[in-house]
Amino acid sequence: MILMTMYALDEIPFETVYLHGLVRTREGKKMSKSNPETCIDPLDMIAKYGTDALRLSMIIGSGPGNDIRLYEEKIAGYRNFINKIWNATRFVLINIAGEKIDEFSEKNLKNIADKWIVTKLQKLTKEVTENMENYRFSDAATKIYEFLWSDLCDWYVEMSKGTDKNPNVLLYTLKNTLKLLHPFVPFITEALWEKLGEERLLIGENWPEYDGKLVFEKESAEIELMQKMITEIRKARADKHIDPAKKIHAIIAAGKHKAFFDEKHDVIKKLANLETLEIEEKTGVHGGGEKREGALKLMVDDIEIHLPLEQMLDVAEESKRIAKEIEDKEKAIQKLASLLENKNFIAKAPKELVAQENEKKQKWQQEVAKLKEHQKDLEKLKKM
């Protein structure tokens, strides 16, 4: 192409070449026309999951020159993300209905949550722009995916359902996110852009620009600390096998962050699924040491979190369940260990399968170790 264009037109047709890898099956086989059984028909996938979902499944995880594995479940997973974009837009449309929306400026920022989300958006814009300019399309798409799914939907939207509701910031954040997403999922973003009442096509809009005036590091650090704390409480609940629907009690020694946590009391209570929440400056400042005996203690930076275990679960029933789970898992580990010690299996099995079985064994061993730690905590509670 270069030689022919130079010969015919005396100019270079292109200066940059982007080389993508091979498209492979889930098992790593090359998709090839000579082996039709290895191929996925894109038209079938588009009819089933939509063009945007297919586009994302071929962009995310596909670095320059690296092979990509493509299978139907992966495409279906990105359809869920497309639904997430739609749901986020629907939430914004409901919240801006009947509201006076001003042209966005720093004056629209009413609270710490607003300053945190616009800070995250500015950093995202900067990173995505740099990635796009350097042809790191997978990195750019991954960052936007994580921002919309986690920061915007899981955190800011949830905070917006309370006193932190701010239609101006919701609309500003969504519009700029749709602009960043447009090169990757043009169909859903263009349709939603129209639903937001925009007359010009999204494809004709200017690319978002980083604005350092909308970066608030101090306020963002406060929100991120709250996130870490809520995440630790959720993780502790999962580790202790507490019913996700069960509301629990928490005591937080917040130190210098007490005023901020007092302000966000209802948000923390809601997002951590708490029945009651006590926020103290120091541990035991109001007395009540008995509440902490047998409680699960968590540390997040300089913050102490106490979760009374006896209020979280039925100790006797939980002890039985844990003992049974340990027994079942140890039997499974023993069976898997015997398989991995079998020389015939090692000699005949594919290396990938052997590696998978070893990983499975290690994972089960780690799970048993955690269960035994939990068992020790329960034994302490029984003696109280």
Task: Please give the backbone phi and psi of residue 277, each rounded to the nearest 5 degrees, phi first.
Answer: -140, 125
In terms of Cα–Cα distance, which of 313, 307, 276 is closest to 292?
Answer: 307
Asked whether the predicted pLDDT for residue 233 surpasses 50, the reply is: yes
- Looking at residue 292, its pLDDT comes to 57
Lowest-pLDDT range, 1-10, 113-122, 273-282, 284-293?
284-293
Task: Please give the backbone phi and psi of residue 104, each rounded to the nearest 5 degrees, phi first.
Answer: -65, 140
Q: HSE of 236 in the Cβ direction (CA atoms, 13 Å)? A: 26
CB 187 within 8 A of CB 52: yes
CB 124 within 8 A of CB 144: yes
Q: Calculate the CA 306 to chain-centre distance.
A: 26
Q: Percentage of the chain surpassing pLDDT 90? A: 51
The mean per-residue pLDDT over the stretch 363-371 comes to 87
| CATH (one of 3.40.50.300, 1.10.357.10, 2.60.40.10, 1.10.730.10) for 81-215 | 1.10.730.10
- Largest Cα–Cα distance in the chain? 90
Confidence bin at 286 (pLDDT 50/70/90): very low
- Looking at residue 295, its pLDDT comes to 74
Q: Is 101 left (phi over 0), alpha (psi -120 to 50) or beta?
A: beta
Q: In whole angstroms, what is the distance from residue 202 CA to residue 141 CA?
A: 18
Q: In whole angstroms, what is the distance from residue 35 CA to residue 32 CA?
A: 5
In terms of Cα–Cα distance, which of 182, 187, 166, 54 is closest to 107?
Answer: 166
- Looking at residue 21, its pLDDT comes to 86
Residue ranges with strand state E in 61-197: 68-69
Asked whether the predicted pLDDT for residue 288 surpasses 50, the reply is: no
The mean per-residue pLDDT over the stretch 161-174 comes to 90
In terms of Cα–Cα distance, which of 313, 289, 287 is closest to 381?
Answer: 313
Residue with tokens 């090839």: 32
Q: In whole angstroms, what is the distance from residue 171 CA to residue 114 CA?
A: 12
- Give 309's contacts (C-beta < 8 A, 6+ positions apart): 240, 294, 295, 296, 315, 377, 378, 381
> CA-based angle 14:18:24, to the nearest 5?
145
Whether the CA torsion 175, 180, 181, 187 is positive or negative: it is positive
Mean pLDDT rounded to a whole number for the chain: 88
Residue ranges with strand state E in 179-225: none
> CA-based angle 122:269:90, to the nearest 5?
50
The mean per-residue pLDDT over the stretch 366-374 comes to 83
Amino acid letter, residue 364: W
- Give 95's contacts (C-beta < 8 A, 6+ positions apart): 160, 165, 167, 170
- Looking at residue 380, its pLDDT comes to 65
- Looking at residue 297, its pLDDT comes to 83
**What is the tens place of the pLDDT at every residue in 37-47?**
889 999 999 99
- Looking at residue 283, its pLDDT comes to 61
Asked whether the predicted pLDDT for residue 166 surpasses 80, the reply is: yes
Asked whether the predicted pLDDT for residue 333 surpasses 70, the reply is: yes
- Give 335's contacts (C-beta < 8 A, 6+ positions apart): none
Q: Calculate the CA 376 to chain-centre distance.
A: 32
pTM: 0.78
The more confident residue out of 84 and 64 is: 84
